Amino acid sequence: MDAARLVAESERVMRAAPQPEDVIEEAWQAGELVEAVGRLLADGERASAVGAAEPGPAGWAGPALAAAGAGPPRASRLTAVRDPAATLRALRVLLGEITHALVGLTCAVQDEGAYWQCIEALDAVDEAKDRVRTLARGGRIAGETGTGGLSCVD
């Protein structure tokens, strides 16, 4: 499945007035998706340099989702990134929406355990944002021209 469709699934969850646990799960899902997009783009760069694609890790689940007890990450369905620049822009927007929701949750929670879940999710989203920036700046995608990276950086 194309990355844009997976991002759209997360956007639908975030627009549907999610419960606190949904927002936290979407934070982890988005982080996994950013990592999967990064791996797929790197595999594509290696394939174009070598001439043949190497198989990537199938069904990889990062420690965050495995620890949270969620099902398989949405990112495990990723098969293509048809428009890398648009995908990275969409991921930046999604991560911003998740950050906004998590900050609101963090301020409202009464339970210390829930507070720390929000803080950990915020940290994961921040790392995912950094990864998107790195991909956008240094991500030399086949067919890209110009001296900079992709046009979705801050």
Number of domains in the chain: 1
Q: Give me the domain span that covers residue 83.
A: 3-51+59-138
- The neighbour count for residue 15, using CB atoms within 10 Å, is 9
- Residue 14's alpha-carbon distances to 49, 99, 129, in angstroms, are 38, 11, 17
pLDDT value at 17 more than 50: yes
Residue 151 lies in a domain: no
DSSP for 125-146, written as a single string: HHHHHHHHHHHHHH---TT--S
Instruction: Give the single-character DSSP code of 149.
Output: S
pLDDT tens, position by position, 26-56: 999 999 999 999 999 988 766 555 544 444 4
In a domain, 74, yes or no: yes
The model's pLDDT over 110-137, given as tens digits with 9 standing for 90+, comes to: 999 999 999 999 999 999 999 999 999 9
- State pLDDT tens for residues 51-61: 444 444 444 34
Kindly report the pTM of this predicted structure.
Answer: 0.76
